[in-house]
Amino acid sequence: MTSSPERTRLAQSDNDIFVALKGEEARQRAELELIPSENYAFPEVLTLLGSAFTNKYSEGYPGRRYYGGQEFTDRIENLARERAKALFRAEHANVQPLSGSPMNQAVYLGLLEPGDTILAMDLSHGGHLTHGAPVSHMGRIFNFVRYKTDPSTGAIDFEALRDVARATKPKLVVCGYSSYPRDYDYADFRRVADEVGALTMADVSHIGGLIAADVMRNPLDAGFDVMTTTTHKSMRGPRGGLILCKEKFAKKIDASVFPGLQGGPHMNQVAATATTLRLAAMPAFQDYARQVLANAKALAAALNVRQVKLVTGGTDNHLLVIDTVQSFGLDGAKAEAALDRVGLTVNKQVIPDDPNPPMRPSGVRLGTPAPTTRGMGHAEMEEIAAIIAETLAAGGDAAAETKLAARTHTLTSRFPVPGL
Ligand SMILES: *Cc1c(COP(=O)(O)O)cnc(C)c1O
């Protein structure tokens, strides 16, 4: 993709944007992406996102559209739906959500009434903004109540969760996370939800690819009513969302996505989702997913050896959270900036019951999907852990940081980014 007639044309029409594009590509090649929600899309995805499907309006669903000319769009959406159902063992799939946030909004608004109570994970313990953060619109429309992790183990406290459920009688129990480094048994949530008559929803946005590859548990196997996932994180697809549910909720979910919440689906994205689902069903993707988990374990172990304090002590999935205050006396914003200076991209992160504010929290979050996509393995995880620990201990020393940046560069130059 470094030179093509299309790129030459872009350079001529809008050189400002072309220069920024080249800058971003160079940044992605030179730096090491360790943000656990990010990845490098399959090259096929980049092709389809820039394809003719972007020109097409397809409001409605296959066979029931508001516009003509749907022969090929119906074909790709049907393929995407069938592939999603097969891959996740789901009764029904909606592939139109424009991203993760509207995907979750569509579920809440489709299955509940405004004011209904939803039980979801506390944000500082690993939940997501779309699980009812007070700053989100959903947080104003629905009555969100919270469960947390047990401070002594870092695992979800199911006793306390059951107490909150009994006291508040939620209509929906939501599990799923964006910064919880452990796995859990979905049947534990089901039991609580069944006891109080609530529906169950698992938002597996971070680990959708790992569930697709069957290397992490699938909540639908535990009888969950709804599962949502983004397609652009561990799955390497386009930015987008999937809603998978039991057949009995299919009509409500589809009507909630369109016309309830969205207009025309992005058919270039739907095409890319279809291809992603095909690629995610391949043995090569299962190997990739296994390596994502093995790399996370290796990275956690190598950080532990260097006395770096991890929230819950380690990881069962693709992500880990470093308590930078305890480990290095640095807040997460300073740690993020220091790692940025040596070419490692991470994000500052609140830790459970963080005494510090979100813009200056007590930790950073990192994950292995992106480096694993570049082909990195155990030896590289050791080197990354060493660079992280030495950078955060260097106290901003410029000479030390220059040497550490060179080590990052050595690493990234050996592992090209697919598709760039
Ligand atoms: C990323 C994420 C989302 C939202 O996805 P966007 O595409 O950023 O809107 C929702 N839920 C969880 C758990 C996530 O990690």
Cα–Cα dist 265/123, whole Å: 30
User: Does the pLDDT at position 282 exceed 60?
Assistant: yes
Nearest CA among 310, 342, 348 for reference residue 326: 310
Give the residue numbers annotated as catalytic, written as ranges: 57, 59, 203, 230, 233, 239
pLDDT at position 155 is: 86
Residue having the nearest C-alpha atom to atom 5 of ligand 1: 100
Residues 49-280, CATH architecture: 3-Layer(aba) Sandwich (3.40)
Cα–Cα dist 262/257, whole Å: 6
Per-residue three-class SS string for the chain? CCCCHHHHHHHHHCHHHHHHHHHHHHHHHHCEECCCCCCCCCHHHHHHHCCHHHHCCCCEECCEECCCCCHHHHHHHHHHHHHHHHHHCCCEEECCCCCHHHHHHHHHHHHCCCCCEEEEECHHHCCCHHHCCCCCHHHHHCEEEEECECCCCCCECHHHHHHHHHHHCCCEEEEECCCCCCCCCHHHHHHHHHHHCCEEEEECCCCHHHHHCCCCCCHHHHCCCEEEEECCCCCCCCCCEEEEECHHHHHHHHHHHHHHHCCCCCHHHHHHHHHHHHHHCCHHHHHHHHHHHHHHHHHHHHHHHCCCCEHHHCCCCCEEEEEHHHHHCCCHHHHHHHHHHCCEECEEECCCCCCCCCCCCCEEEEECHHHHHCCCCHHHHHHHHHHHHHHHHCCCCHHHHHHHHHHHHHHHHHCCCCCC
Ligand 1 close to Cβ of residue 368 (< 6 A): no
Cβ–Cβ < 8 Å for 412, 32: yes
Ligand 1 close to Cβ of residue 38 (< 6 A): no
User: Does the pLDDT at position 399 exceed 60?
Assistant: yes
120 C-alpha to center of ligand 1: Å?
A: 14
Q: Where are the domains of the chain?
A: 49-280, 285-412
Ligand 1 close to Cβ of residue 70 (< 6 A): no
What is the per-residue pLDDT across 333-376, written as a single tens digit (0 to 9) for each? 999 999 999 999 999 999 998 999 999 999 999 999 999 999 99
258 C-alpha to center of ligand 1: Å?
A: 20
Helices 378-393 + 332-341 axis angle, to 10: 120
For ligand 1, pick from 104, 105, 128 the residue to mutate: most ligand atoms within 8 Å of CB.
128
For 58, phi and psi rounded to 5 degrees? -135, 45
Cis peptide bond prior to 259, omega within 30° of 0 = yes
Cα–Cα dist 77/64, whole Å: 12
What is the per-residue pLDDT across 12-32, written as a single tens digit (0 to 9) for each? 999 999 999 999 999 999 999
Cα-based distances in Å from 40 to 31, 131, 246, 362, 419: 13, 26, 31, 28, 8
For 177, phi and psi rounded to 5 degrees? -160, 165
User: Does the pLDDT at position 7 exceed 60?
Assistant: yes
User: Does the pLDDT at position 420 exceed 90?
Assistant: no
What is the per-residue pLDDT across 121-164, written as a single tens digit (0 to 9) for each? 988 888 899 999 889 999 999 999 999 988 888 889 899 999 99
Ligand 1 close to Cβ of residue 148 (< 6 A): no
100 C-alpha to center of ligand 1: Å?
A: 4
Binned at pLDDT 50, 70 and 90, residue 91 comes out as very high
Ligand 1 close to Cβ of residue 317 (< 6 A): no
For 344, phi and psi rounded to 5 degrees? -105, 120
Ligand 1 close to Cβ of residue 356 (< 6 A): no
234 C-alpha to center of ligand 1: Å?
A: 12
User: Does the pLDDT at position 1 exceed 60?
Assistant: no
Cα–Cα dist 4/416, whole Å: 20
404 C-alpha to center of ligand 1: Å?
A: 32
Ligand 1 close to Cβ of residue 208 (< 6 A): no
pLDDT at position 127 is: 86
pLDDT at position 2 is: 55
Nearest CA among 139, 224, 233, 123 for reference residue 180: 123
Classified by CATH at the fold level, domain 285-412 comes out as Aspartate Aminotransferase, domain 1 (3.90.1150)
pLDDT at position 153 is: 83
The amino acid at residue 31 is E
CA dihedral 364, 365, 370, 376 (to 10 degrees): 80
Cβ–Cβ < 8 Å for 111, 259: no
Which atom of ligand 1 has the smallest separation from the CA of 104? 10
User: Does the pLDDT at position 275 exceed 80?
Assistant: yes
* Average model confidence (pLDDT) across the chain: 96
Cβ–Cβ < 8 Å for 353, 361: no
pLDDT at position 125 is: 83
What does the block give as tokens for 274?
Answer: 């279809």
